[in-house]
Structure 1
């Protein structure tokens, strides 16, 4: 994995079983369940996942970058006038945070360290 590269894309879905069935049948993607509210996919060209949500999906894509030093890249983002929208949190496999760029686009950065 390379620092500062797009590494993952996260999408929203109201019904994870229906979304898995659709992408498996239509495109041959494979899925791994991580609890009742998250499923990861591969065999798509870029790995990603679907997070269960109850609200209508308006802009459901979350671009996730990789960096091996979350504290450093978080400081760099703040110094560049980005805004932290969700502070560093842990999840199975690593940690991540979300930020807003100057136009209000929300992205995330994760690390396996």
Structure 2
């Protein structure tokens, strides 16, 4: 999928977990997911169609994983979100491979938007 086809689509799902090794064993055994480690606090998974990650960098959040959307223009997407009534819950930060920010939608769900530029 090229960059334009990815714009504003769900691109990644991130689970905050207490124990990455335990999560890898569980999802690997049950669903056959494959993993790539990016340091001690982050592991990417591939389910054959969708990518995601396990991280210990944030507290475990009951209620589900963090849904992450991709954007070609992070600043413009943030502007549109604010204009539509979202609140920014975590300011833009860099990580290996790009940068992202988190927002709260009008119903209270936290999502994130990332860019690799």
Q: Same fold (TM over 0.5)?
A: yes
Give secondary structure in 2 for the equivalent of 1:95. strand
Whether 1:18 and 2:22 are equivalent positions in the alignment is yes
Work out the CA distance in 2 between the residues paired with 1:31 and 1:63. Answer: 18
Q: Deviation digits for residues 81-103 of structure 1, max 9, x if unmatched?
A: 10000011011111100000011
Give secondary structure in 2 for the equivalent of 1:75. helix
Work out the CA distance in 1 between the residues paired with 2:48 and 2:62. Answer: 22
TM-score normalised by structure 1 residue count: 0.92
In structure 1, the partner of 2:104 is: 100
TM-score normalised by structure 2 residue count: 0.89
Count matched residues.
113
Cα displacement (A) at 1:60: 3.5
In structure 2, the partner of 1:87 is: 91
Task: Map 1:20-99; keep pairs closer than 5 Å.
Answer: 20-52=24-56, 55=59, 57-99=61-103
Provide the aligned C-alpha RMSD in A.
1.6
Q: Is the 8 A contact 1:70 1:109 kept in 2?
A: yes
Give secondary structure in 2 for the equivalent of 1:74. helix
Moved more, 18-27 or 74-83: 18-27
Segments of 5+ residues of structure 2 without an aligned counterpart are none
Which aligned runs of 4 or more in structure 1 are off by greater than 6 angstroms?
none
